[in-house]
């Protein structure tokens, strides 16, 4: 079983749409959870941390379900600039992160 698994997409959505990405992880001892965004041929950038209580940052909402080992990211009112690959990331062990392969989002006019 892959350590962090994501649907590779691409997800094609029109501007203004709501889109959700899911991710599952295999290590039940994982301690920290993140979503990173990676633009084409660029470095990943931290989008947001994910907490058990759920957290929201503007149009972005992240949820964590530890029992099901499942993480989600919801993007509301999609913008063209949201087009990117979204990486699900899990922290376990000494400050080390395990990255999913990413889900590609394409927002069209």
Site for another protein in 87-106 (CB under 8 A): 87, 91, 94-102
Closest CA to 69 of 31, 41, 21, 108: 31
State in angstroms the smallest separation of the CB of 64 from another protein: 14
* Interface with another protein, residue 45, by CB under 8 A: yes
42 near another protein, judged by CB under 8 A: yes
Q: How many residues bind another protein (CB under 8 A)?
A: 22
CB of 34 to another protein, least distance (A): 7
Strand ranges (DSSP E) for the chain? 4-6, 11-14, 19-25, 32-38, 44-49, 55-57, 60-65, 70-75, 84-91, 97-99, 103-108
Question: Is position 84 an interface residue for another protein (rule: CB under 8 A)?
Answer: no
35 near another protein, rule: CB under 8 A: no
User: Does residue 28 belong to the site contacting another protein (CB under 8 A)?
Assistant: no
Rounded to 5 degrees, what are φ and ψ at 30? -60, 145
Positions touching another protein (CB under 8 A) are: 4, 31-32, 34, 41-46, 49, 87, 91, 94-102
């Amino acid at each position: 079983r892959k350590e962090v698994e994501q649907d590779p997409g691409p997800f094609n959505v029109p501007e203004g749409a709501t889109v959700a990405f899911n991710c599952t992880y295999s290590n039940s001892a994982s301690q920290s959870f993140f979503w990173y965004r990676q633009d084409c041929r660029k470095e990943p950038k931290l989008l947001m941390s994910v907490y058990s209580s759920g957290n929201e940052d503007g149009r972005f909402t992240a949820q964590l379900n530890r029992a099901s080992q499942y993480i989600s990211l919801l993007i509301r009112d999609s913008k063209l600039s949201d087009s990117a690959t979204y990486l699900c990331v899990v922290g376990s062990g000494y400050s080390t992160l395990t990255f999913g392969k990413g889900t590609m989002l394409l927002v069209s006019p």
